[in-house]
Structures are given as structure tokens and as C-alpha cells.
Structure 1
Amino acid sequence: MPPFYAGKLTTFEDDEKESEYGYVRKVSGPVVVADGMAGAAMYELVRVGHDNLIGEIIRLEGDSATIQVYEETAGLTVNDPVLRTHKPLSVELGPGILGNIFDGIQRPLKTIAKRSGDVYIPRGVSVPALDKDCPWEFQPNDFVEGDTITGGDLYATVFENTLMTHRVALPPDAMGKITYIAPAGQYSLKDTVLELEFQGVKKSYTMLQSWPVRTPRPVASKLAADTPLLTGQRVLDALFPSVLGGTCAIPGAFGCGKTVISQALSKYSNSDAVVYVGCGERGNEMAEVLMDFPQLTMTLPDGREESVMKRTTLVANTSNMPVAAREASIYTGITIAEYFRDMGYNVSMMADSTSRWAEALREISGRLAEMPADSGYPAYLAARLASFYERAGKVKCLGGPERDGSVTIVGAVSPPGGDFSDPVTSATLSIVQVFWGLDKKLAQRKHFPSVNWLISYSKYSTALESFYEKFDPDFINIRTKAREVLQREDDLNEIVQVRVTYPSKTI
């Protein structure tokens, strides 16, 4: 770490200090090859070089490991140390996530800016994602000592803000008999609030959880979605509706309004919580979100006005940040969304844009000398996209009390020149159920949102028929008639523009 930051910033956590080191053999941009890594595991978190740069193992050959580094690798030299941590890349989950802004690997940007006094993130900085010293109002549920508790059970609530109540659940992989549960009061994330005994072994738990970003959080079962995602955009809600727990894609050329629609959904949708991931997009777009969201308010059923930011979490990995961290930012965002889903909330995740994520995969794949597929993208692009979108859905949550939650994924796609035959767009359309296609011609005519009603579609119309019939039996017929009118308008549009010119007159 540069001397300027010495004493101001922590390096790495004590429990990450291990005696096993490898050493750098080769550096190629964000890809580092290290030797002496026998016994390492795939996707294990490592610290590279004397600055303790965060990296992740993505390939193993003998005792050599190929590492994807999530920070700038300038200055790394051969034989620099590589520290193993014996754990995968994980995120911290607990009170304090809402209203916060993180980078792609869940480092809190506000805290880093305050500690470093710099507008840029120092290399190798390691700051806890959540404030471990902040007190939270802890209120236990009906559990008492001697009760048996299993993974996913909600054993307490925490007052996070006036809009959201944080429901504290036991980690999915834990169970046992309660030997201690903290009484109501104020506790920090360091304090023990629960002790369990299982097969003679006692274990303590705080309100903080850690979960690997590449592993989907378990659920009891998946459910059929039957409630619409109300976006506040009439063309989307009326003609091409999505559901809570659905998958949506917004492809469009530059300037068509993808980011505006994503932000509008974050502001006005009927979701309980929103995770907004700025993946490889311009920094001023995230700055606009940070400026606008705290000022926007939403009206609750009891008439109260609350800030939209109280239900929002931002994951910012802008275009000037390291390319490798773009991939991690998507997984960080979806893991946070799954955490709130497990509380029984309906969560929306906005990914802007998945094309930048795919470009990061292409760059890393090229440096690994993998066989390229269409347009240079890796052959596993479609599989990676599918594994991401499959983490959406409406579910029956693990544990008790019985509750349902959902994660809705809305992914913006930026095909070059608005070409929808682009590999990323094609792979996305084969996965998602809702397609909101944006039209450059409509955008040039200042027709916003520039949703082309002829190419867009939704496969959730049938699933929502019972919902519409309950509130307005005529809605489905009116929507069908509106689509017929729009289709007829397009058919006539070509005819009315035809002009036949004769020597004496124009028809």
C-alpha cells in the first residue's frame, strides 16, 4: 500500500491471514498466473502482490493457478506473493445494505471516500462492506431457549429505516437447539445475538451473514408467478406486462432510453426493494441516480411520504473501473437481491447493462487464449447468461414462518448499432420471457419511452389473465383491440406514404 494511505486504511482481515503463499509467474492485464498454488480451489479468493489486490482463481493446472484480479495490476512483478484465503468470493449480508452504494466486489464507496480522502479507490484497500460498530434495534421473535431452529427461520427483526423492516434469518446451512437468544435492545454486527447447539457443538451467530456470490441461495420451492410488476409506464403495463419474479430484457441502441426505463422502474415499480447494478456504464449515470433517488418520494398506503433511496441498494461498477470486476458486480447484485427475497420481499434487480458484462467475459476469455465463438465472445456466454437469469423467480422461502418472495431481473442490453442479431441479444432473448425492444427511429422523434409495440412481446399474458379478470373483466379484450389498431396503423402507414407522380398531377 502506498505510504500516503498508511495508517488510514486497513489491509485485510485477520482471519484471512494464511501461511500458504504462491508467487506470481506471469501478468497479462487483469489475468495473473501464479505458481506454488497446490491445493487451491476454483473460485477461491486470493490477495495478489504487496498491495493485497483482490483476485479470484478461475483456472487450475497442476500447481499453477490463473487468477482474475479485480483491481488495476500495474506494478505487479514476477515473484510477488499471492496469499490464499481458503474461501470463495462472498458478500456480507445484514442490516445496513439499503441506502448504501458498493463497487462490484461490495466495497462501500462512501466509506472508502471518507477514509482515503481521494476521489479514486486506492489499490488494495479493504474496508468492511457493512459498518460493524453501528447499533441496530434488535427485536427477537417468539423463539425461546430450548426451541429447535433450522436454516431460513426468521428469529428476529431489526429496524433498518422507516420504510423497510429487516428480518433476520438463520443462515440456510445452519440448524440446532437454541441455548441463547439476545433480549430486545441495541446490538452491533459484532455482537452475538444467537447461540445454537447441534450434536454437542455450540456455535454463535451475529446479525451478519456471508454468502458466496456464485452460489444461488436455496429455497423451499419455486412457485408460478401470478402478480404483475407494475412499472408506472403505461405501454409496458398495458401491452407487455411482466410479473413479480419475471425476467425482462431491454435491448436498444445508444440514446434509446434504456437507462431511463431502468431508473423509472427503480423509482416507481411496486417492488419492496430494488438493487440497481450499473455494470460498465458511464459514471455520470450512477451520479444521476445518487442525486435523484434521495429526493424522490413514494406515497405509502397510510399516506406517508418516504424516500425511494430507503428501499434501494446501488452496485456501481462504471466503465473506468477494472474490467474483471464487471462480472463480479452482476453476481454481487443478484446475491443481495436473493437475501431480501428470503425475508419474504418482492425484489427487483436492474442490470445496466449485461452487454458490458459480456464484453468483460470476452476480454478475460481472450487473455486466457480460449477458443472464441461468435463475434469473439466465449462459447459459454449463453450458459453464463442463463445461470444468471435463472436466479430470478417467485419462490416459497426456506424456513418459517411460511412466506413467499420474488426476484425480478430487468437486464438492459446494448447491441452495437442497435443490431438485435448481436450474440448477447440473441442469447438473452432465448432466455427471458419479456422483451421490451427500443426503436432508434422512435427515439429520434422524441417518442419516449421508445418501445416498439410491433417487435416487443410478453409471455406472461396468460399467467396474468386471472389477475386482470378479477380487477377488470374487459381489460383483456380492450388490450387485444388496441394491439389490432396498432398493427393496422403500421399496415396503413406504408400505403399512405406512397405517392404516384404523373406528368400533370400527383396522386
Structure 2
Amino acid sequence: MDTSKLPKIRDEERESEFGYVHGVSGPVVTATAMAGAAMYELVRVGHSELVGEIIRLEGDMATIQVYEETSGVSVGDPVLRTGKPLSVELGPGIMGSIFDGIQRPLKDINDLTQSIYIPRGVNIGALNRDLKWEFTPGQSLRTGSHITGGDIYGTVFENSLIKHKLMLPPRSRGTVTYVAPPGNYDVNDVVLELEFEGLKEKFTMIQVWPVRQIRPVTEKLPANHPLLTGQRVLDALFPCVQGGTTAIPGAFGCGKTVISQSLSKYSNSDVIIYVGCGERGNEMSEVLRDFPELTMEVDGKVESIMKRTALVANTSNMPVAAREASIYTGITLSEYFRDMGYNVSMMADSTSRWAEALREISGRLAEMPADSGYPAYLGARLASFYERAGRVKCLGNPEREGSVSIVGAVSPPGGDFSDPVTSATLGIVQVFWGLDKKLAQRKHFPSVNWLISYSKYTRALDEYYDKHFPEFVPLRTKAKEILQEEEDLAEIVQLVGKVRLSSCEEGLWVDILPRLMVGMCMHALGTYCCPPCQLNNRHLSLRPTKSHWRLLNYSRMTSCSRMAILRMTGSALSTKRWASFPTQLRSMTWRDMQWRPRLRVTTRSPGP
């Protein structure tokens, strides 16, 4: 492959002073003659100009973690200082794109090189410079207007789902001296010009932001709206909020990636940022294959889910140092769309691979290891990442609110939740969806263990449920009581079998629990369950009386409610079959039993 045509770092970015490679140890490079460099400064290493970041300074010696393969780098090679931190480009064109860990567009690299691999030292802009966007300036914006950081000065329709709001960078302010008229512009065209204290500054549709720096907000707000996943066990028993933090730990094969992808497909978020951090390449291939085919209905129109999704792919065969960059790239993109007033969900799969990269680099730096060889600052790094989530009041005018929800998958070795990464994560996040290997082996998906999982947002959401679904909280409490009873009955059944159960306990074990917990997630109707239908399913599970069946109108039922019938009858019902169903129910023998105060449960009597 001829790499001579690949664009290199621009001449105007070069500096007169270079450092020189002193030593190479895997992704860690030491350089001399680096006096004046700054921590986390972006550098270019070697003649191939590999992307790196300074992570330690000692005198004129700098330690650099390189985000590309360091094969061929030798002592004495030049190290170019750029004088800038590792940053991402923010602007129109992010949605529907797939980037690597340092925001290089993989599709553009493939079109340029005709190779399935990323060549070393390639330097391509994250956003397409040739694509034209229809720019519309703000209605109240005119020459002489005063604007400050965070103010929205124009809009661009990125696609039919995302209205991209162009915001003034947080540290900028001034008086408008020029605003571009409505029309088509590329991202490099000047659309706004400000003057402040006699200095003029021009702005394009692109703004650059350091990935390690948190974007400022006016105020952090308490969460008040649930993050709906469509999975009954998660939304009903262990809910998360928009702006919350969630961990999904589980062993190999428990379904962490399936839950993350399900959240990306069906959650009630406006924007999805999916980060594949050190996971297998076939999982990202599955995302790329499935997502373009998935659709959602918005205002009566069917739209592709990819229109609201951006992917950051850093597979396990890529350099380990880039795993950390992919996490920070994803959260910075999320904060950018949050500042527009959108509710953003970021999926990180998996943070354990990031922790393993920290352990490898820490070992090469000869740092004192902590538990299981992880660095002592592991918890601080995880906390600095998860604390960037939240619901906020955005900077600038007009007033708007946005949120970033973080869902991080954790892969403890052997499913051991005492793993340092899992322990550190659980001390930070507010929702814990623990996956059980035994449930997964029984084909019980999602394999969420309801005995160890928890959510600290239940009380925060009580007001929301009381307002919209008054019966939701009492039914959830009853469901949890039943599940706790199941744990006690399970020990009895394992020891002596079902024959020792009373009729009340047998009704609970045989009839209620399968209805309550077992879903059919692989069925077309079972992939998503909305809150009203979850409430209806709880009624069907806890109080399946004849009168309740008669009140249901099949023609008005949603797909979720039909799914509940499918779970209970074993087959889908047509409108004609549904009309005769109450008659069949009346012919059955039903017996009531009181097994808990104010909870009336019925079970079908055995046949002759």
C-alpha cells in the first residue's frame, strides 16, 4: 500500500523545536530535549508522526503514551511538539459516523487507503470538509448583538432526527460584526465574526475541545425522568434516570453487550454514543450490521436509528493506550450534544478493558501496583469519568436542559464481583445491574440477578410514577416481595422438591414467578416494553382474574400487551380468537387464595 498520498501534519503546526526518542517500551516512549512541554500535550512521534500524549515530565525528559503501533520507532527519532492537548472536533457530521479512539473517521480512511487496517501516522480530519450544510442563523441574531459562551447562533439540520445547534465556544464572547446569511456552507466557512476589546475573532461550524476537560455548565440539576430501556426487569425493579450512572458487571456470555446494544436501540434518549473499548471486533461488526437496519417511528415517519447514533470503535487488536482515549472521546461527544439540550446516553463496553490498559502502562512506568496489579489511581480515573454524567442546565441562551447518562459494562474475570474494577465502579455508580452466569446458562435473558441488583434512584422517581402511573410503585413493591419469597422457596425445592410446598407456595412457584420474570427477548414483540404495558403486565402477573381479561380490547392493545398474552398462552391470539377467549376462561375452574395481606393471587386448578 502506498502511504505517500496520505495527508500528514500540516506545516503551520510544526514548531522549530523537536525532542528526540530516548527509549521505547511497547506503547510507552521516553523522549529527551522536551523542556517546556506540558502534561497531556499532543505530540507526534517518529518519522511516521504517530499520535502520542505526554503523561509524565521529569526535567527535560518526557514519557509519552502512543496511540498507534510503535514498531519501527528507534532511538534518536524526532518527537514533534504541537503545543495543544489531545482534542476532538465538534460540529455537523458526527451522527451516523464511526471513529477510532482518537476520532479518526474509519470510513474515510478506508476510502482513501482501500485497506481494512489503519495505516500508521494517518492524519484525517474527523469531519468531512467537502460536505455542504444548510445553515440558518438565529432569528434574534444580527450585527451589533452581544453574545457569550454557550449561546446558540445558528442551526443545521444534520439529518431528519437531529437539529444541530451551533453554539459559541464557552470561553468566547463579543459583539457580532458579521453573521452569514442562510445558505449552504461547509464546516470551514466562516459563519460568525465577533469583536471584543478591539480584537476580531472568526468562527466556523467546527469547535475543538480537549477530551480531558469537562465542558462547563450553568448548574447541575436533580434527575426527575427515567431512562427507559424497554426491558421489564430493569425499568420496573431497578430503574435508571436520564443523567444517571449504571454499571453492568457480568462474566463472559451473560449478555452485557446485548443489554448495551438494546439500550442503544430502544432507550428514550435523543442521542446515542456507543463506545466499543477493547472489545472483540465482531461485536462492533454486529453493531454496524444491525443498526442501519433498525428503525424508529418519529412523528409518523420511520427513521433509521443510525441517524441518532455515533460509534467510537477501539477493538481489542488496536493499541491499548487508545482505549483510554476512546472513553474520553465518547464522553466529550456526549457533553457536546448535551449542551444543545438533548438527552444523551453513552454506552462504554467495556471499562474493564480500559482498566487493563491502565495496568499495562502503569507497569511499564514502574509505578507501585495496587490490588491485582492495577494502579493506585484506578478509582480516581473511574470517578472522573462517571462524574461527567448528570442532568444540567446548559450554558448560554436560550435556556435549555440536557443530560448525559453513562452505562458502563464491566467484565470481571470469572464473574468475580470482588474484582478491583468492579468494586471501584460500584462505589461510584448509582445503579447496579448484576448479571448471573447461572441465569444465562438457563437461557434466562436478560440474566439480571434480582437479589444482588439495586437502584438508588427509586425514590427520586416515585414522584414521576405517582403522577403518571399511580399503581406502579405498589405493584413494584409486591413484585419484590414475591421475588424475595422465591429465594426462600428455592432452597426448599432444591432440598425436598415441590411436594413439600403448600398449595399457596406451589401456586407462587409454578404460576406467578414464570409470569413475573421470564420474558421472550428474542421474539419480535418482546424486545421493547413501554411503561403502560409494563404496568399492564404486572396486573396480568399478579391479578389475572376473569374480569381483567374481559376489560382488555384486543384491537386497542399495543404490541407489548400482546406479548404478555403470548407469554401466558404460548401462542399469539388473533382478533377472532381473542373474542372467544373470555368464554374459555369462564369455563375454567379458578380458585382464589389469600397468601399475603391485600394481595389476591389466583391460580388455575389442575385438569382432570
Structure 1 counterpart of 2:230, one-letter code: G
> Residues of 2 paired with 1:15 and 1:107: CA distance?
20
> Residues of 1 paired with 2:10 and 2:242: CA distance?
38
Cα deviation for residue 496 of structure 1 reads: 1.8
Cα deviation for residue 13 of structure 1 reads: 2.7
- Once the two structures are superposed, residues 372-407 of structure 1 have per-residue CA deviations (whole angstroms, 9 ceiling, x without a partner) of 000000000000000000000000000000000000
Residue 437 (structure 2) pairs with residue 440 (structure 1): yes
Q: Max radius of gyration: which structure?
A: 2
Q: Pick from 222, 227, 231: which aligns with 2:225?
A: 227
Matches within 5 A, 1:86-485: 86-141=83-138, 142-300=140-298, 302-485=299-482
Cα deviation for residue 5 of structure 1 reads: 1.2
The aligned residue for residue 490 of structure 1 is 487
> Residues of 1 paired with 2:17 and 2:84: CA distance?
13
Residue 496 (structure 2) pairs with residue 499 (structure 1): yes
- Once the two structures are superposed, residues 116-170 of structure 1 have per-residue CA deviations (whole angstroms, 9 ceiling, x without a partner) of 1111000011111111121000000121000000000011000110111100000
The aligned residue for residue 16 of structure 2 is 19
> Residues of 2 paired with 1:395 and 1:14: CA distance?
40
Structure 2 counterpart of 1:33, one-letter code: T
- Once the two structures are superposed, residues 250-305 of structure 1 have per-residue CA deviations (whole angstroms, 9 ceiling, x without a partner) of 000000000000000000000000000000000000000001001000111x2111
Structure 1 counterpart of 2:190, one-letter code: T
SS in 1 for 2:2: helix
> Residues of 1 paired with 2:211 and 2:224: CA distance?
28
The aligned residue for residue 40 of structure 2 is 43
- Once the two structures are superposed, residues 202-240 of structure 1 have per-residue CA deviations (whole angstroms, 9 ceiling, x without a partner) of 000001000000000000000000000001111100000
Structure 2 counterpart of 1:366, one-letter code: G
SS in 2 for 1:315: strand
> Residues of 1 paired with 2:411 and 2:347: CA distance?
14
- Once the two structures are superposed, residues 449-476 of structure 1 have per-residue CA deviations (whole angstroms, 9 ceiling, x without a partner) of 0000110000000100110001121111
Cα deviation for residue 497 of structure 1 reads: 1.6
Structure 2 counterpart of 1:348, one-letter code: S
SS in 1 for 2:243: coil
- Once the two structures are superposed, residues 65-95 of structure 1 have per-residue CA deviations (whole angstroms, 9 ceiling, x without a partner) of 0000000001011000000000000000000
Cα deviation for residue 189 of structure 1 reads: 0.8
> Residues of 2 paired with 1:138 and 1:179: CA distance?
18
SS in 2 for 1:497: helix
Q: Give the TM-score, by structure 2 length.
A: 0.81
> Residues of 1 paired with 2:91 and 2:243: CA distance?
22
Cα deviation for residue 14 of structure 1 reads: 3.5
> Residues of 2 paired with 1:281 and 1:383: CA distance?
23
Q: Pick from 39, 46, 52: which aligns with 1:55?
A: 52
Structure 2 counterpart of 1:68, one-letter code: Q
SS in 1 for 2:367: coil
> Residues of 2 paired with 1:210 and 1:130: CA distance?
11
- Once the two structures are superposed, residues 6-29 of structure 1 have per-residue CA deviations (whole angstroms, 9 ceiling, x without a partner) of 12x101133321111000000000
Cα deviation for residue 487 of structure 1 reads: 0.5
> Residues of 2 paired with 1:113 and 1:156: CA distance?
32
> Residues of 2 paired with 1:83 and 1:372: CA distance?
31
> Residues of 1 paired with 2:105 and 2:31: CA distance?
29
Structure 2 counterpart of 1:189, one-letter code: V
The aligned residue for residue 504 of structure 1 is none
> Residues of 1 paired with 2:265 and 2:11: CA distance?
40
Structure 2 counterpart of 1:62, one-letter code: G
> Residues of 2 paired with 1:229 and 1:30: CA distance?
38
Structure 1 counterpart of 2:372, one-letter code: S
> Residues of 2 paired with 1:12 and 1:306: CA distance?
38
Count of matched residue positions in the alignment of Structure 1 and Structure 2: 496
> Residues of 1 paired with 2:301 and 2:128: CA distance?
28
Structure 2 counterpart of 1:43, one-letter code: Y
SS in 1 for 2:496: coil
> Residues of 1 paired with 2:472 and 2:254: CA distance?
29
RMSD: 0.8
Cα deviation for residue 43 of structure 1 reads: 0.1
- Once the two structures are superposed, residues 323-367 of structure 1 have per-residue CA deviations (whole angstroms, 9 ceiling, x without a partner) of 000010000000000000000000000000000000000000000
Bigger fraction of residues in helix: 2
Cα deviation for residue 113 of structure 1 reads: 0.6
Identity %: 74
> Residues of 2 paired with 1:79 and 1:496: CA distance?
71
SS in 1 for 2:54: strand
The aligned residue for residue 71 of structure 2 is 74
The aligned residue for residue 527 of structure 2 is none
5+ residue gaps, structure 2, are 498-608
The aligned residue for residue 25 of structure 2 is 28
- Once the two structures are superposed, residues 21-62 of structure 1 have per-residue CA deviations (whole angstroms, 9 ceiling, x without a partner) of 000000000000000000000000000000000000000000
Structure 2 counterpart of 1:461, one-letter code: T
> Residues of 1 paired with 2:341 and 2:471: CA distance?
32
> Residues of 1 paired with 2:306 and 2:412: CA distance?
30
Structure 1 counterpart of 2:224, one-letter code: D
> Residues of 2 paired with 1:428 and 1:25: CA distance?
37
> Residues of 1 paired with 2:454 and 2:237: CA distance?
8
The aligned residue for residue 4 of structure 1 is 2
